[in-house]
Amino acid sequence: MAESRKHIPVKLPSLAFIMCLMISFAMWTVITMAKDYKMSYEYKLVCDHLPEGRHSVTVSDTVIILTFNQKGIRYLTKPFTEKDKVVTVSVNDLIKPKNKVSVYTFTNKEMCDFLSTHNFGSELVAVSSPEVITFYLR
């Protein structure tokens, strides 16, 4: 009975094929991780640190779209992988250079400069949306 069963030999891939496969995977990984990527993410805008005498702030847009420039594996870092993406803005630091009024308007370029200085660093390329953000202080 044991003799009636045929033993079918299993052909294993050659060592050369396995080595080529491993080298190609390593090259693909290096190339993928070395590329520059630009990705845009939506962040909820939260304000804190109000100036003295002010008790609340209203923002024209509570969601901003930020564009980042990163290389491969760095996209796995915390600011890009969080589910609830929130950017906290210190209103006191943001409005310091402006005159003391109740309404402050910032272009996306001004917001990008502020956020790259205080929150994200050089990875932040642009604030894609909105074009203008207005803060109303009371």
Closest CA to 119 of 96, 92, 87, 95: 87
DSSP 96: T
Does the residue 87 lie in any domain? yes
Tell me what pLDDT residue 136 has.
Answer: 92
- Give me the tens of pLDDT residue by residue for the chain, a chain 138 residues long: 555 677 777 677 788 889 999 999 999 988 888 888 888 889 999 999 888 888 889 999 899 999 988 777 666 665 666 778 889 999 988 888 777 788 999 999 999 999 999 888 888 899 998 899 999 998
Tell me what pLDDT residue 2 has.
Answer: 54
Does the residue 2 lie in any domain? no
Q: Domain range spanning residue 67?
A: 36-137
Does the residue 6 lie in any domain? no
Tell me what pLDDT residue 79 has.
Answer: 60
Tokens of 39: 């990705």
Does the residue 5 lie in any domain? no
Tell me what pLDDT residue 4 has.
Answer: 62
CATH code, domain carrying 45:
2.170.120
Q: How many domains does the chain have?
A: 1
Q: How many angstroms separate the CA atoms of 119 and 107, rounded?
A: 17
Does the residue 99 lie in any domain? yes
Tally of CA atoms within 13 A in the half-sphere of 88 that contains its CB: 4
Peptide bond into 130 cis (omega under 30): yes
Tell me what pLDDT residue 3 has.
Answer: 57
Does the residue 125 lie in any domain? yes
Tally of CA atoms within 13 A in the half-sphere of 18 that contains its CB: 4
Closest CA to 118 of 48, 20, 23, 57: 48
Does the residue 105 lie in any domain? yes
Does the residue 113 lie in any domain? yes
